[in-house]
A and B are shown apart, each in its own frame.
Chain A
Amino acid sequence: MSESETLATSGVSDSAAKKGAAGVRFHGINKAFGTNVVLRDLDLDVAPGERVVIIGPSGSGKTTILRVTMTLERPDSGTVQIGGRHLYHEPHGDKLRPASEKHISEVRSDIGMVFQHFNLFPHMTALENIMLAPMKVHGKGRDEATDTGMELLNKVGLAHAANQTPGQLSGGQKQRVAIARSLACEPRVMLFDEVTSALDPELVGEVLNVLRDIAEEGNTTMLLVTHEMAFAREMADRLLMFDNGQVIESGRPADVLDHPQNERTQAFLGAVKAH
């Protein structure tokens, strides 16, 4: 995908792209699990502050690209850049070398991820879950971390649940705490991996509201994998259709959803609508 296309389709106003957000660039990413190839020579540019929604059938590699960005999976080949810095490589002269864990950790601190199954720490309260990374990674004091933690809990509407453990929360509440936990690290890029898929239908709305708030503030780049088409249409700057480890269609959500060009996109959307 060329640069001009990226800019044309991104449609991000300049005010939205604040200093905080960082762009992401994937170049030639390959990833296979054994003989099962999930990402094929993937090239993708995400502009700072852009909100990209990824759709596609299961096994198309859409979750893997998020996990590769979060360094939960290492790509077999290719490079990832976050805000212009290489994630897996360090520049050495005019060449690149595989990066040290320290470098990866440093770049990784710009990224946050919210999981499908929340992955909250069950032995800590909601507030402690949020305070952990600010205190242990960013070296904040307990008071400061408590303040920001309560602020974030308030933002996701869960200030009253600060002292409850994850076991006492509903699915939607857990996911909101997980989002707050991720926000506490002030990430410049946020990854959302099917964050509403494990929730009961009546709880999806509360989580999507929180996502809307984050999008409104606009100081992070957002990559979302989701099955909520209406939500994708409403808030995505760009919609990507993944199939077989590649982007097969990309464009404004309305264009892709209403007038899909690729026949596999048509088939997929047909199946989703029928469902």
Chain B
Amino acid sequence: MSTNGPSYSAAPPEIEHPRTKLVQLLGFLSIPIPLLGPVAWWMGNEELRKRDDDDRAQLVLGRTIGMVMSILLYAGLVLLAGMWAVAKGWILPFSQYRTLVEASLVTIQILVYSFALGIVLSLIVGVARLSDHRWIRGTALVFVEFARGISSIILLFIMAVAIPILLDVPQTSKILLASIALGINMGGYGAEIIRGAILSVPKGQTEASLSLNLTQTQRLRHVVLPQAMTVILPPMGNLTIEILKGTALVSLVGVPDIMQSANNIRQEQLFNQAGTLTILLLNVLVLYFILAQVVNVLFKLWERRVEQSYKGGPTLTPEQLPAHIRSATPGVTG
């Protein structure tokens, strides 16, 4: 039988890694030729991931040189791109930046209004979608279908152009009307998020709070929604960014937001015959990107806070318990 298998008595041959030398060579070569740095870095990492033996020193050396050279290369490229941008006039004059930032306050204002309205609508409609009464449920469903089905730009035109004429609303409250349009839009999507989150809370939780004789509102407020929070927040953050993007539409009905002020800057550019529209719009895009990232970070912080509140504080030791509880709880003082 031993003839079938390999000869097991011999010591295993030594294992050799032909790539080690290559990585080191690439690392050293990347000093005169920085383009090779990323290659050495990547290849070294791949090799290091594959193996775990004693002679890693050469590999680590080669990879580290590659890493340093790649970082230098990237820093150089960024510097070059920056200089090129300035030389090409990609950076706008300071006064125009100030105009844009001032206008972004209006955008933020609309975002805050529509967010507030959206959250309230989401909560009400999301809970109403789960109501026991058929009429409440039906009405909520109609609202959700309407808000999600209508295009936000069309809703905006109806709210800010058609409604004022039909109902004699003064034209001055355009910011408010636009916020209502965006808030309705957000409410439709938010209601579905909240409904899903409420449904995701285990049924036992509701049953337990029922057994404690909590009212329906109390159950929602103290048991269900706090637990649903971890499910609600991530999609709600994305939805808020969608609404931020939606605020760009309000310039079309004459609200002086970022886009409107970009139009004004364009007029200025044409008058001065300096600067191009492409660069201006690129800067506007970057501004929106920054705003979106701010919203993103705020929601991430909120998420972290909620998560930490779930971890709970340190467990109390019997000595830390208030005296009246200690005496009333047999065995704790034990």
Which of the residues B2, B8, B16, B52 comes within 8 Å of A25, measured between beta carbons? Answer: B8
Q: Please tell me if A144 contacts chain B, counting CB pairs below 8 Å.
A: no
- Tell whether, in the assembled complex, residue B52 and residue A30 are in contact, meaning their CB atoms are under 8 Å apart: yes
Residues of the A chain whose Cβ atoms lie less than 8 Å from the Cβ of B13: 91, 94-96
Residues of B1-52 contacting chain A, CB below 8 A = 1-2, 4-6, 8-9, 12-18, 50-52
Residues of the B chain whose Cβ atoms lie less than 8 Å from the Cβ of A213: none
Residues of the A chain whose Cβ atoms lie less than 8 Å from the Cβ of B5: 22-23, 25, 47-48, 83-84
Residues of B163-181 contacting chain A, CB below 8 A = none
Which of the residues B4, B15, B52 comes within 8 Å of A89, measured between beta carbons? Answer: B15
Residues of the B chain whose Cβ atoms lie less than 8 Å from the Cβ of A30: 52
The interface centre, meaning the residue of B2, B12, B14 with most chain A CB atoms within 10 A of its CB, is: B12
A242 to B15, CA, bound (A): 27
Which of the residues B8, B12, B15 comes within 8 Å of A45, measured between beta carbons? Answer: B8
Instruction: Indicate whether A7 sits within 8 Å of B2 (C-beta atoms), given known contacts A45-B8, A95-B15, A97-B18.
Output: yes
Residues of A20-57 contacting chain B, CB below 8 A = 21-23, 25, 27-28, 30, 32, 45, 47-48
A83 to B4, CA, bound (A): 8
Instruction: Indicate whether A96 sits within 8 Å of B8 (C-beta atoms), given known contacts A76-B52, A77-B52, A77-B53.
Output: no
Which of the residues A25, A76, A98 comes within 8 Å of B6, measured between beta carbons? Answer: A25
A7 to B1, CA, bound (A): 9
A23 to B4, CA, bound (A): 8
Instruction: Indicate whether A48 sits within 8 Å of B8 (C-beta atoms), given known contacts A96-B15, A96-B16.
Output: no
- Tell whether, in the assembled complex, residue A97 and residue B15 are in contact, meaning their CB atoms are under 8 Å apart: yes
C-beta contact mask, B134-166 vs A, less than 8 Å → 1, else 0?
000000000000000000000000000000000
A94 to B303, CA, bound (A): 58
- Tell whether, in the assembled complex, residue A83 and residue B2 are in contact, meaning their CB atoms are under 8 Å apart: no
A76 vs chain B, min Cβ distance (A): 4
- Tell whether, in the assembled complex, residue B9 and residue A96 are in contact, meaning their CB atoms are under 8 Å apart: no
Q: Please tell me if A3 contacts chain B, counting CB pairs below 8 Å.
A: yes
A163 vs chain B, min Cβ distance (A): 36
Q: Please tell me if A207 contacts chain B, counting CB pairs below 8 Å.
A: no
Instruction: Indicate whether A3 sits within 8 Å of B6 (C-beta atoms), given known contacts A77-B51, A96-B15.
Output: no
- Tell whether, in the assembled complex, residue B50 and residue A74 are in contact, meaning their CB atoms are under 8 Å apart: yes
- Tell whether, in the assembled complex, residue A23 and residue B15 are in contact, meaning their CB atoms are under 8 Å apart: no
Interface size class of B (residues with CB under 8 A): 10 to 19
B238 vs chain A, min Cβ distance (A): 30
Query: Which chain A residue lies CB-closest to B15?
Result: A96
Q: Please tell me if A79 contacts chain B, counting CB pairs below 8 Å.
A: yes
- Tell whether, in the assembled complex, residue A12 and residue B1 are in contact, meaning their CB atoms are under 8 Å apart: yes
Residues of the A chain whose Cβ atoms lie less than 8 Å from the Cβ of B50: 74, 98
Query: Which chain A residue lies CB-closest to B9?
Result: A3
A232 vs chain B, min Cβ distance (A): 23
A21 to B6, CA, bound (A): 13
Instruction: Indicate whether A3 sits within 8 Å of B8 (C-beta atoms), given known contacts A77-B52, A79-B15.
Output: yes
A196 to B2, CA, bound (A): 33
- Tell whether, in the assembled complex, residue B1 and residue A47 are in contact, meaning their CB atoms are under 8 Å apart: yes
A74 to B49, CA, bound (A): 10
Query: Which chain B residue lies CB-closest to A10?
Result: B1
Residues of the A chain whose Cβ atoms lie less than 8 Å from the Cβ of B8: 3, 6, 25, 45
- Tell whether, in the assembled complex, residue B51 and residue A83 are in contact, meaning their CB atoms are under 8 Å apart: no
A230 to B97, CA, bound (A): 79
B201 vs chain A, min Cβ distance (A): 28
Q: Please tell me if A92 contacts chain B, counting CB pairs below 8 Å.
A: yes
Query: Which chain B residue lies CB-closest to A92?
Result: B16
Residues of the B chain whose Cβ atoms lie less than 8 Å from the Cβ of A21: 4
Residues of the B chain whose Cβ atoms lie less than 8 Å from the Cβ of A6: 8
Residues of A90-133 contacting chain B, CB below 8 A = 91-92, 94-98
Residues of the B chain whose Cβ atoms lie less than 8 Å from the Cβ of A79: 12, 15
Residues of the A chain whose Cβ atoms lie less than 8 Å from the Cβ of B4: 17, 21, 23, 48
- Tell whether, in the assembled complex, residue A98 and residue B17 are in contact, meaning their CB atoms are under 8 Å apart: yes
Which of the residues B6, B9, B17, B52 comes within 8 Å of A83, measured between beta carbons? Answer: B6
Residues of the A chain whose Cβ atoms lie less than 8 Å from the Cβ of B52: 30, 32, 76-77
Q: Please tell me if A81 contacts chain B, counting CB pairs below 8 Å.
A: yes
Residues of the A chain whose Cβ atoms lie less than 8 Å from the Cβ of B6: 23, 25, 81, 83-84
A23-B4, A28-B12, A48-B4 known; 9 new pairs, CB 8 Å cut-off, are: A17-B4, A22-B5, A25-B6, A48-B1, A48-B5, A95-B13, A96-B12, A96-B15, A97-B15
Closest 9 CB pairs of A and B: A84-B6, A76-B52, A23-B5, A95-B16, A96-B15, A48-B4, A3-B8, A95-B14, A27-B12
A interface residue numbers (CB < 8 A to B): 3, 6-7, 12, 14, 17, 21-23, 25, 27-28, 30, 32, 45, 47-48, 74, 76-77, 79, 81, 83-84, 89, 91-92, 94-98
Selected A-B contacts with CB under 8 Å, 26 pairs: A3-B2, A3-B9, A7-B1, A7-B2, A12-B1, A17-B4, A21-B4, A22-B5, A23-B4, A25-B5, A25-B6, A25-B8, A28-B12, A74-B50, A77-B52, A83-B6, A89-B15, A91-B13, A95-B16, A96-B12, A96-B14, A96-B16, A97-B15, A98-B17, A98-B50, A98-B51
